[in-house]
Amino acid sequence: MRIIFMGTPDFAVASLEALLNAGKTIVAVVTAPDKPSGRGQKLNESAVKQFAIQRGLPVLQPARLKDPGFLEALAGYRADLQVVVAFRMLPEVVWKMPPMGTINLHGSLLPQYRGAAPINWAIINGERETGVTTFMLSHEIDTGDILAAERIPIGDTETAGELHDRMMVIGAKLLVSSVNDIAGGKITQLSQDVLISENSGMELNHAPKLFKEDCLIDWRSPAKATFDKIRGLSPFPTAYIEFRGKTLKIFNSSYTLTDPGIQAGGFLTDGKTFLKFACTDGFISLLEVQMEGKKRLKIDEFLRGTRLD
């Protein structure tokens, strides 16, 4: 079975590596164009491109997925199946090209948390469980028929980064299993619409792309919800507050439920070991932060170099 793999970040590398280790024939890799970054605007290659080059795989980097030259090149690889992990939305002319279709690995238990940031939103919303799902691509994003899914518990203090790393490995194994089932003609498909209709009380949560305004902490929120938001945004795109006229990113925190005794947004500190902000029903203690233009620091290191009086 000839496979074209499409993906961009580290999350996708694990799946590409798992397919290769399982002996699958990857005839080409499609990834995002190189992007300039930093002061020198040096071109950065995606994690998937770097890995593909190391393994000697052909790499395509179309700026536009409907470009006739790209479509011709894609068709020339005569793929039986396309596999997509953490890539952009594909036009129909691309996902319908191979005879076996195109499958996708998604970081949630579909139909829950359709969208660009499922790992983040599951933690932000205080979920105790999430999962990974393989499904067939169709017209609407993340709505195709489900092939397989695996449930994953979320730790009480787990960050999005930590969960990402666990899901990356579990998802890669599930993807290989789904590809094996397709190759062996053993795959069954479950319509998401049928799943939703059979669970009439199901409330769908969504996972839209996160923007800077989504990351601003509002101390008027409950302490647990604030704690979940901080860990759900860590390490990226990162929760933040405006503090002393600058942006203070918060990577790690803890919370306590109590009558704070001060107005929401007020803080208490000994100037050496702790800095905690009042919410409506308790405190958030900052554990790891980064002031605008400075390094990421543990709270005691931060306090040693910051005057709060």
Indicate the Cα dihedral angle 89, 94, 97, 98, nearest 10°: -50
Residue 101 CA: distances (Å) to CA of 80, 98, 158: 8, 5, 35
Q: How far apart are CA 80 and CA 11, in angstroms?
A: 23
111 is in an annotated binding site: yes
- Residue at 233: amino acid letter: L
Residue 37 CA: distances (Å) to CA of 41, 61, 86: 4, 17, 21
108 is in an annotated binding site: yes
Q: How far apart are CA 95 and CA 266, in angstroms?
A: 52
Identify the DSSP state of 208: P
What six digits make up the tokens of 209? 């792309």
With 0-12 / 13-18 / 19 or more C-beta atoms within 10 angstroms meaning exposed / middle / buried, residue 131 is buried
Q: How far apart are CA 24 and CA 57, in angstroms?
A: 13
Are 289 and 238 a contacting pair, CB within 8 Å? Answer: no
20 is in an annotated binding site: no
Q: Helix axis angle, 10-21 relative to 47-54, nearest 10°?
A: 30
98 is in an annotated binding site: no
Q: Report the candidate in 162, 165, 243, 119 with the shortest Cα–Cα distance to residue 286.
A: 243
Residue 100 CA: distances (Å) to CA of 56, 83, 141, 185, 255: 25, 11, 19, 11, 50
Are 225 and 126 a contacting pair, CB within 8 Å? Answer: yes
Three-class SS of residue 161? helix
Annotation: binding site = 108-111
Q: Which residues are annotated as a binding site for (6S)-5,6,7,8-tetrahydrofolate?
A: 108-111
